[in-house]
Chains A and B, each alone.
Chain A
Amino acid sequence: MGTSVFYLVAFLSIFFSLMVIFAKNPVHSVLYLIVTFFTFTVHYILLNAQFLAVVNFIVYMGAIMVLFLFVLMLLNLNKENEPLKSGLVKVVGIVAGCCLVVTLVGSLKATAVSDPLVLQNPNLGLVKNLGKELFGPFMLPFELSSILLLTAMVGAVLLTKKEKV
């Protein structure tokens, strides 16, 4: 049962991520992106990573995407005030598209059926075990990344502050 659920959810993830790109309206794009993140949450649950699943749910779906939606709703982008694309942009687009095709063909050629994925430690995703791992063997990287986030936060606050003349 697990595999068929995985394939269904994987199909939905890819489908909705494609919808993000193809949707004409930017607000619709963001809404599709939210659904995509929801399917990721389901993937985490399938991998028994409950903590990661719920954090993905809270942080990505609940906070970051709200801010995305926020900005797009305020900008109110639509067809009329979209800047005209110059010829150069089109050329760049064609080149980038060709690069993508080459990469896709190359990677498709190199694909092989992978070995079935076996979770090394199925209970690692539970809160208690994850916490013990993070504050045990991975203490230093964990603390460093939190300092990185703090730096970004301070930077963001500084950017919004008006400079005193």
Chain B
Amino acid sequence: MDISFVIEKFILVAIIFGISLVIAMYSTYAERKVAAFLQDRLGPDRAGPFGILQPLADGLKMFMKEEIIPTHANKWLFMVGPGLAMLTACIGTAVIPWGSPITTAAGRVIPLQVTDINVGVLYIFGVVSLGVYGVMIGGWASNNKYSLLSAIRAASQNISYEVAMGLSIIALLLVTNTMSLKEIVDMQHGWHWNVLYQPLGFLLFIICAFAETNRAPFDLPECETELIGGYHTEYSSMKLGFYLFAEYINMFVSSAVMATLYFGGYNYPGMDWVLTQVGPVIAPLIGTAVLFAKIFAFIFFFMWVRWTIPRFRYDQLMHLGWKVLIPIAIANVIITGIVIAIVEKF
């Protein structure tokens, strides 16, 4: 483990961290613009040209607001909650391959992935399952019945949809035969994207991703009409900002995961031809740009759905998770297994 390796990884981590924060920041702006577009409004347009400085103004507002910790709240856990939400949102990016390795002129190969562990898919899954703690701890520590109810809603929703998500991933693993995200991406070279082999699995995965990120139509944990504000009712200032921000980072990470698992990551049709044209330094960067284009498309889809579909009722949510998605996911696993067995036989 030489020092240049450490520096290289450190820079990569810093860049990814910065990018996820900036993207999350501008997702808030994009969300408002998309909402405005879908509702035939203008959206934020005061701060800077086209309102481009709006996220900065919002951030400043969050920092300047008075910070309130309720008297009977559990002070320590009240502060841990939002921090945990941010932490679990951010660490998921560690195993995502952001581009094919860059070979520099000096012959050094720089992988655009922080770490390629051979249980990468499960790591993502673990981070997702940990995400509920930020909400639960924050909701409980607020010492507010509405916050608690909402935190419990969030927890039961996340656990229910994790099952279906895990089953849809199993079907994907049957196809890929590996859990390393790097190998999964390399398998989808060109246009052999997994979504072509696992369309049903992808549909299940994206529904569960909506539920895991608490996005509409599954945003019951923050259902204003029933729970005042949701689990962050008692939060103010930047702690509230952290919770809201974590949601956008989660959205970014889950978009990246979906692009990586099902939509070929940094692969695109005709990439070999491009490689011969522009050389081994520029081509990976184009791949990275393609990956980000896919991510942005998914983020737009998240917003599109939010401003189109109304919120589920709680029993409908549970019904969908347990009685619809899980049986379909199990059927998907079985069908995938049978098809693979038949293909291997003949």
| A residues at B contact (CB < 8 Å) | 27, 31, 34, 50-51, 53-55, 57-58, 61-63, 66-67, 69-70, 73-74, 126-127
Contact = CB atoms under 8 A, between A and B. Distances in A.
A62 B130 contact: yes
Nearest to A72: B140
Contacts of A34: 133
Given A70-B152, A73-B152, A63 B123 contact: no
Interface in B155-172: 155-156, 158-159, 162
Contacts of B155: 66, 69-70
A146 to B, nearest CB: 14
A53 B136 CA distance: 24
Given A50-B117, A50-B118, A66-B155, A73 B162 contact: no
A53 B126 CA distance: 10
Contacts of B148: 73
A127 B152 contact: no
Closest 10 A/B residue pairs (Cβ): A62-B129, A57-B126, A54-B122, A58-B126, A54-B119, A73-B140, A50-B119, A58-B129, A66-B155, A54-B126
Given A58-B122, A63-B159, A67-B159, A27 B129 contact: no
Contacts of A51: 119, 122
Nearest to B141: A27
B137 interface: yes
B126 A66 contact: no
B204 interface: no
Chain B interface mostly: helix
Counting chain A CB atoms within 10 Å of each CB, the highest count among B128, B130, B148, B159 belongs to: B130
Contact-size category for B: 20 to 34
5 contacts: A27-B140, A31-B137, A54-B126, A70-B156, A127-B118
Contact of A54 (B123, B133, B151): B123
Given A63-B129, A63-B162, A66-B136, A73 B151 contact: yes
Interface string B55-80: 00000000000000000000001000
A127 B152 CA distance: 33
A126 B118 contact: yes
Nearest to A55: B122
A63 B133 CA distance: 10
A127 B119 contact: yes
B125 A58 contact: yes
B179 interface: yes
A31 to B, nearest CB: 7
Contacts of B126: 54, 57-58, 61-62
B101 to A, nearest CB: 22
B149 to A, nearest CB: 10
B208 interface: no
A66 B152 contact: no
B132 interface: yes
A53 B117 CA distance: 12
Given A50-B118, A58-B122, A73 B129 contact: no
